[in-house]
Structure 1
Amino acid sequence: MIHFENYTIRPLELDDLVPYFNLVERNRKRLEDFFTGTVSKTKDLDATRIFLAEIIEKRQAKQYFPYLLVDNVTNEFVAFFDLKNVDWTIPKTEVGCYTDEKFAGKGLTSEAIKLFIEYCFKHFEFKKIYLRTHHSNKAAQHLAEKCGFEKEGTIRMDYITTSGEIVDLIYYGRIQK
């Protein structure tokens, strides 16, 4: 766990079912295009329960690592972070995140991601952490640059959105120093 100010970054657990579902539900429209797996697998509480069990099983297999940013005062879920596409041979991983709209644009996610990335380099001993984002997501691009990621380039036709559109993604990388 990572603690800073009045916040904690901690692993997502099965007991987080209802507040996690509520986080997704409140932000579903914002997540539709680029968190297709999350949106499609959390349509109701039963589906979300299955989804959480699946991702926690992947965590136990060291293939996927879901985390929450939690407000310690209100216990609200502020943001969701995950490490996916883990490649232990390099070792590297992709970081993903989304912030509850209520907390977006306040610099909180940037501060949390900086700490989270440092934690991931030390705890998991990754040599590289990267993130991908669409050219329309200026907030994610700003977040990447603010958190020390360098733009590596654009991969054309790299992702299929919920609507079925295949789009280009900008890749940002950060190397363990």
Structure 2
Amino acid sequence: MSAMRFDHYIIRPLAENDLLPYFEMVERNRPRLEQFFTGTVSRTRTLADTQAFLADIAERVQARTYLPYVIVDEATGRFIGFLDLKNIDWSIPKSEVGCYVDAAAAGQGVATRAFQVFCAYCFAEFKLRKLFLRTHESNTAARRVAEKAGFAVEGVIRCDYKTTAGEVVDLIYYGRLG
């Protein structure tokens, strides 16, 4: 897995030794992530929790069942976003893709550009035939990012996700073929 570049950012695989900058990014964005990044929020409450979470992620990367990446500002070294491939089905091959950016980078086009670069990389590097994402109707930013990256609405999956608050919600399913 190699790094990607755009503007003055690098997208690279998340590593176990990224503990502190990863934890700090999640901590800065915890209120924004709480409802729809349940696993991340629940497994990163402390630095020790986060270290165990990253060790678990490293095992999943080794097994090729989960592939996480961070968006890094080249000038500052600060983590300003996260992208991942999850629910990977190598037999098709297809994967769900996830993304969030730091609140300080929101609304500047960083998520859109990073997502476009990342999707192109995933199709070329992993020879995926399909990428998909699921998002709640209220997440207009994610919906815009998906649509600008060539994803189309394929439908609504009813009662598909349990939020951190315990509410079971419908999700919009977007897909893009490679």
Select the residue among 125, 147, 161 that pairs with 2:163: 161
CA distance in 2, matches of 1:92, 1:59: 16
Aligned to 1:61: 63
TM-score, scaled relative to structure 2: 0.98
Aligned to 2:147: 145
Query: Which sections of structure 1, spanning at least 5 residues, go unmatched?
Result: none
Amino-acid identity (%): 57
Alignment match of 2:122 (pick from 120, 123, 138): 120
Q: Equivalents in 1 of 2:83, 2:94: separation in Å? A: 16
Unmatched 5+ stretches in structure 2:
none
Listed one character per residue, the Cα deviations across residues 26-64 of structure 1 (whole Å, up to 9, x for unaligned) are 000110110000000000000000000101110110000
- Secondary structure of the equivalent of 1:23? helix
CA distance in 1, matches of 2:165, 2:6: 38
Counterparts of 1:153 and 1:124, CA distance in 2: 25
Is 1:133 matched up with 2:138?
no
Match of 1:25 among 20, 27, 37: 27
Whole-Å Cα distance in 2 between the matches of residues 48 and 78 of structure 1?
17
> Is the partner of 1:93 in helix, strand or coil?
strand
Aligned pairs for 1:36-55 (under 5 A) are 36-55=38-57
Cα displacement string for residues 135-156 of structure 1 (whole angstroms, at most 9, x for unaligned residues): 1000001111011001101010
What's the CA shift string for 1:118-148, capped at 9, x where partnerless? 0000111100000100010000011110110
Give TM-score, length-normalised by structure 1.
0.98
2-side partners of 1:167 and 1:55: how far apart?
26
Among 86, 96, 99, the residue aligned to 1:84: 86
Q: What is the letter of the counterpart of residue 12 of structure 1?
A: L
- Partner residue, 1:73: 75
Write the distance in 2 (CA, Å) between the matches of 1:83 and 1:45.
Answer: 24
How many pairs are equivalent? Answer: 176
Query: 2:160 and 2:16 mapped to 1: Cα distance?
Result: 31
Determine whether 1:99 maps to 2:93: no
| SS of residue in 1 equivalent to 2:65 | coil
Q: Distance in 2 between matches of 1:14 and 1:54?
A: 9
Give secondary structure in 2 for the equivalent of 1:119. helix
Structure 1 residue 111, shift from structure 2 partner: 0.7
Matches within 5 A, 1:8-19: 8-19=10-21
Deviation beyond 4 Å, 4+ runs, structure 1: none
**CA displacement at 1:15 relative to structure 2:** 1.2
